[in-house]
Amino acid sequence: MEESLTFLEKIKETFSLGEIDLKTYSPLTLAFIGDAVFELIIRTAEVAKGNRDVNSLHKSKSRIVNATVQAKISELLLPELTEEELAYFKRGRNAKSHTTAKNASVGDYRKATGLEALFGYLYLSGQEERMFKLTEIGLEKAGISI
């Protein structure tokens, strides 16, 4: 029986991409991809609830995918993180970004960037199950159901 490829493995195979050294990537690069991955998880969960109009889907997604909520989730996840995961979170949180969120404090924006960097690291290192588990734990601890 042929083993199926993960989403990341399929992307790498399709576009002939090589392995990467995540330690050489800037935390903002990791946050760039982590933002998309976190949003894809939440969007997928919302769409799986059933066919709805796009405005409704956007509102449902936006109640979770925003700097304030992501900052709260990151704080609640801190005790759950391994030393390596915590290091990637801190690198993202401490990165000097030239942009800020429209509706969040600088502190919340930085914590959200830390969470996104962590998710970028987990995704690019092939740790999808861990990424899903942390999403589940974070949403549960924040009292958010999807």
Catalytic residues: 35
Three-class SS of residue 20?
A: coil
d(CA 28, CA 30): 5
What does the block give as tokens for 3?
């083993």
The alpha carbon of residue 107 and the mean position of all alpha carbons in its chain are separated, in whole angstroms, by: 18
Q: DSSP characters for 27-51? A: HHHHHHHHHHHHHHHHHHHHHHT--
What does the block give as tokens for 19?
């392995």
d(CA 76, CA 79): 7
Instruction: At 13, give phi and psi (nearest 5°).
Output: -65, -45
